[in-house]
Amino acid sequence: MTQPKLGHVGRLVKGSAPSSMSGATSEIVVGLDIGTTKVAAVVGEVDADGVTILGVGNVPCRGLRRGIVSNIDWTTRAIAEALDAAQTMAGVEIRTVYAGVSGSHIRCAFSDGIAAISNGEVSIEDVKRVLEGARAIPIEADRQIVHVLPREFTVDNQDGIRDPIGMSGVRLGARVNLVTAAIAPVQNLVRCAEKCGLTVADIVLEPFASAEAVLSDDEKEIGVAVIDIGGGTTDLLLYVDGGIGHVSVIPVGGNNVTQDISAGLRTPLAEAERLKRNVGCALGRMVADDEEIEVPGVGGHPSRTASRRLLSDIIEPRIEEIFAVIRTRIEDTGLLEQLSAGVVLTGGAVLMEGMTEFAEEILGMPVRMGTPVGVKGITGLVAGPQFATGVGLVLYGANALHQARGHGGTKKAEVIELPPRSEKKSRQSGRFFDWFKAAF
């Protein structure tokens, strides 16, 4: 790894450690999105004004299959390259990261906890205790809890409480969504990061991070689905009543589309990928019949001309399959009617023409593409839906640091994601800035 360039004094800081810049306190937080097709390292500087993106490293990675590490060396090399690029651009040395996890081993389940309220008024310690209780359910030996996400609290006999802190009572209850993951894939991710000399501050569910980067509080409040279609996985996360109602991962993504094109048009995978990105369209009927494309042959066979409609006809069934599976999953949760804000699409595969239109058709809801919001700095480099996870990991890390700071500075940030209060109308970083104000 090359030595990072130094910016002004105070810029060469340990990741997640406070630095002093122009008298103001700031911290560096790094998100590491280890995806099936790329590793994106996003460096953010967190201060009282919010998060400023200082650097981004984005390199191709072939070390994962369907969101799970399948080759440690390839993955480690891609992480090292992405880090190198990000720290050179940002002028910081990265030692600590928030890493994303995905894959079809991810599951979620509801659990309940109950605790006595210590001094007649609910404190953050009471909330921590009730959440500890809620996570004490039997899980398989090869699985671990990744997140404990509160859905609602009860104080004595009053239910439906979003934020119980400060309320009077004797008994605090919590209904949480427990997100669990298989231990081995998580350990392999951590191992790859550690081989690059990194400490993983926390493992974060990728669609949860993506949602943090693209959703407004309003959308979370009235109900929204985030669908992240990457290279190897399609992640689904539902926000209902301000809390997470469901999470699941399907092991299908944009790479399957590329493979379909390669097989259907008998062209090399790299050419299929190029065709998909440059002239692919998810909905056949959006393509004029007379549009023609050039298709390179395999193994020395000459290029030939094909209709763009044919390419679309190959792409369409795969995309239809993905959205149909997603629709079934949403229906199975029983939360379909509660998604008034519709669907937000993230992940690189949604860049293809016709994706939002097709999603609207199959899912029967309004659909928009989600790109990261709520950050400053070199935002042009993280402007696409494929950077939602990386930016979201930085936002998550920043939030975790400030909660840790605001509540006694626990070393490993334990994020207690309280569902946002309904009266907050600001963008997703609204509550986040409240934390800032409180912390500084």
Ligand X SMILES: Nc1ncnc2c1ncn2[C@@H]1O[C@H](COP(=O)(O)OP(=O)(O)OP(=O)(O)O)[C@@H](O)[C@H]1O
Residues binding ligand X (CB under 6 A): 35-38, 67, 102, 230-233, 253-255, 258, 273, 276-277, 280, 347-349, 351-352, 386
Q: What is the dihedral of CA 35, 38, 43, 44, to 10 degrees?
A: -60
CA distance 201 to 183: 16
Q: In the bound complex, what is the minimum distance in angstroms from residue 214's beta carbon to ligand X? A: 13
The number of residues that bind Mg ion (CB under 5 A) is 3
Element of type H or E holding 6: none
Continuous H helices in 91-234: 124-134, 183-195, 206-214, 217-222
Judged by beta carbon distances under 5 to 8 A according to partner kind, the member of Mg ion, ligand X, none in contact with residue 386 is: ligand X
Say whether residue 254 binds Mg ion (CB under 5 A): no
Q: Which helix (H) or strand (E) holds 143?
A: strand 143-155
Considering beta carbons, is residue 262 or 389 the nearer one to Mg ion? 389
Contact 103, 249 (CB under 8 A): yes
Position among 230, 253, 385, 397 found at the interface with Mg ion (CB under 5 A): 230
Residue type, 277: R
Q: Which partner from the list Mg ion, ligand X, none does 349 bind, CB cut-off 5 to 8 Å by kind?
A: ligand X
Nearest approach, Cβ of 390 to ligand X (angstroms)? Answer: 9
Q: How far is the CB of 141 from ligand X (least distance, A)?
A: 26
Do 33 and 390 touch, CB atoms closer than 8 A?
A: yes
Q: 276 vs 402, which CB is nearer to ligand X?
A: 276
Contact of residue 67 among Mg ion, ligand X, none (CB under 5-8 Å per partner type): ligand X
DSSP H helical ranges for 51-109: 72-90
Q: How far is CA 396 from the centre of its chain?
A: 9
Binding mask 27-66 for Mg ion (x = CB under 5 A): --------x-------------------------------
The nearest distance, CB 344 to ligand X, in angstroms, is 14
Question: Minimal distance in Å, beta carbon 371 to Mg ion?
Answer: 14
Pick between residue 59 and residue 155 the one whose CB is nearest to Mg ion.
59
Residue 342: which of 332, 353, 330, 333 has the closest Cα?
A: 330
Q: Count the Cβ atoms, other than its own, within 10 Å of residue 411.
A: 7
Which residues sit at the interface with Mg ion, rule CB under 5 A?
Answer: 35, 230, 389
